[in-house]
Amino acid sequence: MSEQHWIDLRSDTVTQPSAAMRAAMAEAPVGDDVYGDDPTVDRLQDFAADLFGFEAGMFAPSGTQTNLIALMTHCGRGDEYLVGQEAHTYKYEGGGAAVLGSIQPQPIANQPDGSIAVSDIAAYIKPDDMHFARSRLLALENTIGGRVLPQDYVKAATDFAHAKGLATHLDGARVCNAAVKNGIGLRAAVAGFDTVSVCLSKGLGAPVGSVLLGPKAFIEQGKRWRKMLGGGMRQAGVIAAAAHYALEHNVERLAEDHQNALDLSQGLGRIEGLSATTPQTNIFYVEIPEAACAQLREALAAQGIRASIGPHTRLVTHLDVSKADVDKVISVFKAFFKDWRA
């Protein structure tokens, strides 16, 4: 089975390292990074910091960890961060900020475009009063659910937060998708944020790892939390080499994933009984009749297609999904719904 080419639309985390990426991993010089001795980790951290316009970078095993390290470095016990209800750092990280950081989240409703209204941010910042947690940080996410935050919004929200004395963190797990979609550079895409977390293991195609970027002193402080959280890694250059390769080679090509997502959404949307959202990047949603889901899941699996099929299905394209794969998925869906009756 390992030889079979699955068309896997569950997430952009499922990519296989390419032969060139594996070669870079095999050839990487390594050392013990807890001693600061791994040249490949250092090279990745410097490269990423420069690419996004920050002083320093820190490589960590996951985006969950880089986000948590950022929250714990920005906020202390009894502080709070303002964050969207739909945000990964609030909703999908096991409550880590509260559990491990003693940091109170102040969740705020996301607008349909994924933003948090600046007027809501203003309303939720708490005055300096012993009854309240101390509002310390605004955390945004871009892309969020595949949606790209408007650049003028990012500027307005981060300017406002800074004017109110808050720091700003971006969960930029997919910020490269946002930059490519907007046709802007990576530095421009993260402007306004004091710190940024970037996933290398999503659409960029590395097997593992994220980087946290920020001021040098912040990153040094963050390394203590990383160690405490179990993220101190030894000969991590083996995986840092893959992450470096991903950042060097796989950013511009995200445009192909966006085009494939658009083609797939349009092809599926034309099938009677289905409706699909229009993707801005590589993620979109399809409404599927609930009664069809179980059989559809089987029909797809029989054709080598994996997808998290449900009434509200998220589909994700990535560098292991080709244009031909998209055409095949559309034809398998078509054939299924031609025969299927509720």
DSSP string, 67-80: HHHHHHHH--TTEE
Q: Under the phi-then-psi rule, with left for phi > 0, alpha for psi from -120 to 50, and beta for the rest, what region is 199?
A: beta
Terminal alpha carbon distance of the chain: 33
Q: Which segment (21-29, 62-70, 162-170, 297-305) binds ligand PLP by CB under 6 A?
A: 62-70
Residue the block writes with tokens 């402080």? 221
Gap between the Cα atoms of 45 and 60, Å rounded: 10
Q: Which segment (22-30, 63-71, 106-114, 120-128) binds ligand PLP by CB under 6 A?
A: 63-71
**Does the protein bind ligand PLP through residue 201 (CB under 6 A)?**
yes
* DSSP designation for 321: -
- Shortest Å, Cβ 290 to ligand PLP: 26
Q: Is the peptide bond before 143 cis (omega within 30 degrees of 0)?
A: yes
Q: What angle do CA 15, 70, 223 make, to 5 degrees?
A: 90
**Does the protein bind ligand PLP through residue 15 (CB under 6 A)?**
no
Spatial contact of 36 and 227, defined as CB atoms under 8 Å apart? no
**Does the protein bind ligand PLP through residue 173 (CB under 6 A)?**
yes
Q: Which residue number, 172 or 237, has a Cβ lying nearer to ligand PLP?
A: 172
Spatial contact of 63 and 171, defined as CB atoms under 8 Å apart? yes
Gap between the Cα atoms of 59 and 11, Å rounded: 22
**Does the protein bind ligand PLP through residue 142 (CB under 6 A)?**
no
- Shortest Å, Cβ 320 to ligand PLP: 17
- Shortest Å, Cβ 172 to ligand PLP: 8
Q: Which segment (60-68, 179-187, 238-246, 320-328) binds ligand PLP by CB under 6 A?
A: 60-68
- Shortest Å, Cβ 129 to ligand PLP: 32
**Does the protein bind ligand PLP through residue 171 (CB under 6 A)?**
yes
**Does the protein bind ligand PLP through residue 199 (CB under 6 A)?**
yes
- Which stretches of the chain bind ligand PLP, using CB under 6 A? 62-64, 67, 88, 141, 171, 173, 199, 201, 210
